[in-house]
């Protein structure tokens, strides 16, 4: 600022002051956004997750069925109805429902994924050779004791349990 006239110095001084005010405003804005996001996170953890109409449609379809359904089967059921959606949309919304803890997924040895509402507590025996699946009666996991210390730090939404082995036919073929 040396060698500049007084009006120029005043303009520079005001510009510097203005920059400090902007920086202060930016810091306040960042603090506001962080506080707002923390509040959103708290609200998300205490309330039921919001789901879209399409997700609700998939959830309703899964609840109607007594068994698990694949994404392909859900797509077919919806495609025949009046509220059809594309296969990619079905899978994208199924993944969102899994992440929200509203449905569970079960991966078969052939790569297929089956979906069911979390309220439906189903467990299976699955043959690793042919993929045959047998439903288990009851839930051995329900009788497990989760230590109090662990349960306070973790909110359990659902569980899965699946046994893998060889079915009777595949076992006989292997031993023949």
Q: For the segment 40-91, what is each residue's pLDDT rounded down to a tens digit?
A: 555 555 555 688 999 999 999 999 988 899 999 999 988 877 788 999 999 9
Rounded CA-CA distance 61/139 in Å is 24
13 — pLDDT class (breaks 50, 70, 90) = low
Q: What's the pLDDT at 79? A: 85
The reply to whether the predicted model has a pTM over 0.75 is no
60-68 contact pairs (CB < 8 A, 24+): 62/103, 62/115, 62/116, 62/117, 63/117, 67/116, 68/106, 68/114, 68/115, 68/116, 68/122
Residue-number span of the structural domain to which 111 is assigned:
49-118
Question: Average pLDDT, whole number, for the chain?
Answer: 78
- How far is Cα 70 from Cα 105, in angstroms, rounded to an integer? 9
Indicate which CATH number applies to the domain containing 60. Answer: 1.10.10.10
Domain count, the chain: 3
Residues 71 and 131 both lie in one domain: no
Is pLDDT at 172 greater than 60 in this prediction?
yes
């Amino acid at each position: 600022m040396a060698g500049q006239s007084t009006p120029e110095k005043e303009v520079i001084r005001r510009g510097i002051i203005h920059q400090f005010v902007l920086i202060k405003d930016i810091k306040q804005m960042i603090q506001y956004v962080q506080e707002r996001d923390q509040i959103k996170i708290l609200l998300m953890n205490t309330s039921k997750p919001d789901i879209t109409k399409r997700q609700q449609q998939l959830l309703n379809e899964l609840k109607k069925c007594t068994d698990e359904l694949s994404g392909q089967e859900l797509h077919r059921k919806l495609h025949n109805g009046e509220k059809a959606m594309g296969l990619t949309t079905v899978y994208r919304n199924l993944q969102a429902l899994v992440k929200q803890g509203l449905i569970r997924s079960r991966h078969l040895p052939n790569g297929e994924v089956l979906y069911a509402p979390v309220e439906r507590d189903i467990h299976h025996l699955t043959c690793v050779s042919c993929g045959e699946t047998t439903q288990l009666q009851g839930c051995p996991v329900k009788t497990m004791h989760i230590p109090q210390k662990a349960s306070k730090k973790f909110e359990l939404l659902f569980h899965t349990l699946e046994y893998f082995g060889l079915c009777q036919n595949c076992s006989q073929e292997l031993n023949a």
